[in-house]
Amino acid sequence: MNRPVGSRKIPVIGILGGIGSGKSSVVRGVTGLKLFIIDADKIGHELLARSSVRDRIANEFGANVISVDGQVDRGQLGRIVFAETEDGAHARRQLEEILHPAIRSEITTKLKTIPDDTDAIVLDAALLLEAGWDSQCDRLIFVDTPQHLRQERVKSNRGWSAEELARREAAQWDLRRKRDAADGVVDNSGTPDQ
């Protein structure tokens, strides 16, 4: 699946890991290589700002997911799609049906705009395996981070409780399955300086 850029073929590396594992931080910490990073979560957030996507989400989930400033209220939407009920699972599938095709399209577009001096392309996506985007990758790397560190990070960075982390991780493939799918593992249990 190497991407041709000029006369070279550039590898596409997919990053896997649990929520709060520091996937993006690990990628940013790579030195000595010119990486072209495609952040699927960022793409998803940008899509939520598009009126066509906002309208579809409002039609599917109700006007209460749109804030007073006209933007998607991600907190309210998250409460709906991560509810531990069959309704929550159904809502999550509906949201994925709205967002995933558009995210895949954006990924495909970005893969066509790689600068000539790129050494590797990195696809950073929380649902890389679940959405089938791993088919775009040559290699998969799992970022391994202990549960207690991941919990500390999401509490500090997102204000999530242990229960919220567990609820959201239950909507993804389990960590063992992700690790087993990977070609390599990066230990991210230390500090950024380590």
> CATH number, domain at 130?
3.40.50.300
Q: Give domain status of residue 56, yes or no.
A: yes
**pLDDT at residue 2, as a whole number:** 60
3-state secondary structure 6-54: CCEEECEEEEEECCCCCHHHHHHCCCCCCEEEEEHHHHHHHHHCCHHHH
Specify the pLDDT at position 1: 58
Contact criterion met (CB below 8 Å) for 14 and 137 = yes
Please tell me whether the overall predicted TM-score, pTM, comes out greater than 0.95 for this model. Answer: no
Q: For residue 72, give every residue at least 6 positions away whose Cβ sits within 8 Å of its Cβ, in sequence order, or none.
A: 48, 49, 53, 54, 57, 65, 66
Task: Give the number of domains in the chain.
Answer: 1
Tell me the per-residue pLDDT of 28-47, one tens digit each, with 9 for 90 and over.
Answer: 888 888 999 999 999 999 99
- Name the amino acid, one letter, at 160: W
**154, 160 Cβ separation under 8 angstroms:** yes
Residue 192: inside a domain, yes or no? no
193 in a structural domain: no
Q: Which residue has the tokens 């996937």?
A: 23
Q: Kindly state whether residue 74 falls inside one of the protein's structural domains.
A: yes
Q: What is the pLDDT of residue 28?
A: 84
Domain span at residue 22?
A: 3-187
The list of the chain residues with pLDDT below 50 reads: none
pLDDT computed for residue 4 by the predictor: 60
DSSP 183: S
Q: Is the residue at 105 inside a domain?
A: yes
- 194 assigned to some structural domain: no
pLDDT for position 194: 53
Average pLDDT over all residues of the chain: 90
